[in-house]
Homo-oligomer: A and B are copies of this chain.
């Protein structure tokens, strides 16, 4: 049993991986099953297998179903390149381009799918009933490319909609100790959707130009999302988790667009620390559904202007008084974050209002301490139209000046909060009879 647990899609006798790697992978998984039931190894072990995908272009026409623990599927390269940039170059200029598509160990997700049917649209589906939970499935170092977006209810050109009904990996059953590492995801409506995760690791991946990137659904605990590059489309979420406890989101570099950078719903006792978050809209970090006792610390937030012409005028529908951080929940710690806001003051909505940076919407007992807000007015009419969605704000700045903001706004439905050293007297909106405040010292103050 030992010596047969290593597979290579390019040498497996069933199917043609170039035409349908899904058929090949399912055939290999069936072989692992067959051999596991035939054998009675010492201790009854079922060690699983590793399946290797060499660099190459593999079309996937059949969904892969994984229902076996300890399976690793591994390639030799996440192969990310920007499809979005190229799709926004006129096609008559493609001739001279060095390459048109992502690469590495690349799976071209080309399955029939219906919008709204997440299960059918998944390239990889992990699902198993019974006990124990499926464990230690690993996806390592290959690329899942959804190829094209398609026209939807918006007026956008097809390739800019972020809609195509495709999911890269869908884990539908309770699972333990999964590992997603070194992967590339591009042009999928949903890159990675995992239900009911325990001790999940999503580390060091490149997940960009997808409708949504990482969605942890149902419930879960004791997982981590760290050291990834992540950037969702304008209507999706870069990192979303619901009903999780003990989740650690750390060290990620999350770029635009993303309706939110991090959205936690009903999440408790979790951490968002040391991330770099960049967005073009309000609502970068949202704690909703009474998310409580979380630690939001030492993150760098930057909201600035959409620099790229194809997405001018697109946003996530939130007003600027929503807050870069918006919290519905109790007893959270929001400490030592740096928050840079870099927008055109004339475009602020609702008109005449001041943009809000940290907004406590509901709950009690939040601790907001030593956050540093830097707000700058930028003349958007002077801003360059750059070639890339995630382009650095360095390049996009027009003439600028100071911008008045509310650094912390506490609604009447949130009270008994403590706000320390996170803004000047005029920058904090809060009922001081029900919240404890200490204003950041000012010159001569």
A contacts, CB < 8 Å to B = 1-3, 5-6, 10-11, 17-18, 41-50, 54-59, 69-70, 72, 74, 76-82, 85-86, 96-106, 108, 128, 130-132, 134-136, 138, 147, 176-177, 179, 181, 184, 198-199, 201, 203-204, 206, 208, 219-224, 226-227, 229, 243-248, 250-251, 253, 255, 268-271, 273-276, 278, 293-295, 297-298, 300, 302, 331, 333, 335-338, 340, 365, 367, 369-370, 372, 374, 388, 390-394, 416, 418, 420-421, 432-438, 440-445
Contacts and interface: CB of A to CB of B under 8 A. Distances in A.
A391 B198 CA distance: 9
A251 B253 contact: no
Nearest to A388: B198
B445 A108 contact: no
A132 B224 CA distance: 33
Contact of A106 (B18, B45, B100, B274): B45
A392 B340 contact: no
Contact of A420 (B97, B104, B128, B370): B370
A171 to B, nearest CB: 16
A10, A46, A99, A128, most chain B CB atoms within 10 A = A99
Contacts of A55: 2, 5-6, 47-50, 70, 72
Contacts of A176: 80-82
Given A96-B130, A96-B131, 11 more contacts: A3-B54, A18-B42, A50-B54, A50-B77, A69-B98, A70-B79, A81-B177, A177-B206, A294-B300, A369-B370, A418-B441
A324 B56 CA distance: 49
22 contacts: A1-B56, A43-B101, A45-B102, A45-B106, A47-B55, A47-B77, A47-B104, A47-B105, A48-B77, A50-B77, A69-B81, A72-B77, A77-B138, A80-B136, A102-B136, A177-B184, A223-B253, A224-B227, A226-B227, A273-B298, A295-B298, A420-B441
Nearest to A1: B56
A130 B49 CA distance: 41
Contacts of A184: 136, 177
Nearest to A45: B57
A438 to B, nearest CB: 5
B99 A46 contact: yes
A177 B229 contact: yes
Nearest to A178: B80
B48 A103 contact: yes
Nearest to A48: B103
Contacts of A370: 335-336, 369-370, 420
B369 A365 contact: no
A177 B80 contact: yes
A238 to B, nearest CB: 13
Contacts of A99: 44-46, 69-70, 132
B443 A136 contact: no
Given A48-B55, A81-B132, A394 B268 contact: yes
A59, A79, A440, most chain B CB atoms within 10 A = A79
A251 B229 CA distance: 16
